[in-house]
Amino acid sequence: MKLLDLNKTPTIDKVGVHERVNRFCSRSVKTSAKIQGLYLTLSMIDLTTLEGKDTPSKVKHLCYKAQHLHDSIPDLPTVAAVCVYPTLVGIAKKELRGSKINVASVASAFPSGQSTLEVKLADTKFAVEQGADEVDMVISRGKFLSGEYNFVYDEIAAIKEACGNAHLKVILETGELDTLDNIRKASDIAIYAGADFIKTSTGKISPAATMPVTFVMLNAIKDYHKKTGIKIGMKPAGGISNSKIALQYLVMLNETLGSDWMNKDLFRFGASSLVNDVLMQLVKSESGIYQSLDYFSKD
């Protein structure tokens, strides 16, 4: 593994991580800073549908929503991407043509990761051929937990190559990695193997994204940047359902990695339900009145 010595992976101080995260959560974001944070949050969201019952019609509706958030408030930013299964990438690509919204696709036997490399590479290549700008892969957690770290590294590197010009987000599924030490080790493997982003979760198991887990991953990115000068993106996904929590993540991001990471090119939220709460908060700031979430489409 180039530049990576797993024997030197930092041991995580769990108590220290939680203390630090508690300080981020105690920050108060108000008035103009809050509005600015909400606009930024909206621009960082990957609007997602990843269900067995997904249909072309549902994807078209999601793409329409992604492009018409400004119907609630003029001049709102668009979301960063719409994320779908590989078989629906072509539909999303067509619906989003002419917009600045990327099409992301999960791949590599999402969400379990339990398949052969050949199947995972075919899955990835198909998504890219259909027009995916970004690929969200899952690591082989069983291999990782069995100590087969070189296998995990080589698999990520192979899928990165299959992505071509598409950006690769590597999902660790942190809820299955058991410890913060494992999460740091998996983060390092993904980064050094070629990930453009590291991502917490598929959203299919609990716990999904948490602030302590994200803090550990941000520090892996920070250490890699210090060593190489290369900036890696971060995507917490799953369980971030309201604006208050999203703003706490942005505080943590800014204080850990700095202003260079405060943009959609280096930070994303995988939290579709977050869109409606952000819209509700922004409408409240404009009108002084809270609208019910029923006023906003769920998909």
Right CATH for 25-286 from 3.30.70.2860, 3.90.180.10, 2.40.30.10, 3.20.20.70? 3.20.20.70
What token pair was written down for 155? 């698999």
Cis amide linkage into residue 56, ω under 30° from 0: no
Tell me what pLDDT residue 294 has: 46
Domain spans of the chain, in order of start: 25-286
Average pLDDT, the chain: 92
- The answer to whether 58 is a known catalytic residue is no
The neighbour count for residue 260, using CB atoms within 10 Å, is 11
Please, which pLDDT band fits residue 31 given cuts at 50, 70 and 90?
confident
Residue tagged active-site, from 123, 136, 188, 196: 136
Instruction: Check whether 123 has a pLDDT greater than 80.
Output: yes
- Model-level pTM? 0.93
Residues 6+ apart with CB under 8 A from 131: 89, 90, 93, 103
Q: What is the pLDDT of residues 59-68, one digit of tens each?
A: 999 999 999 8
CA–CA distance, 72 with 216 (Å, rounded to integer): 36
Model confidence pLDDT, tens digit, residues 209-226: 999 999 999 999 999 999
In this model, does residue 51 exceed pLDDT 90? yes
Active site residue 136: yes
Active site residue 231: no
The predicted model gives 173-187 an average pLDDT of 97
Active-site choice (188, 235, 264, 277)? 235
Alpha-carbon distances, residue 100 vs 82, 103, 133, 140, 248 (angstroms): 11, 10, 11, 32, 27
Q: How far is CA 274 from CA 1, 7, 145, 281, 293, in A?
A: 37, 39, 32, 11, 11
> Of 160, 169, 199, 264, which residue is the catalytic one?
199
List, edge to edge, every strand of the sheet that includes 167-171: 46-48, 81-84, 102-107, 134-138, 167-171, 197-199, 233-235
pLDDT of residue 6: 80
Interval 239-262: pLDDT, tens: 898 999 999 999 999 999 999 999
Give residues with Cβ within 8 angstroms of 184, minimum separation 6: 9, 10, 12, 216, 217, 219, 220
| pLDDT tens digits, 5-29 | 887 889 999 999 999 999 999 988 8
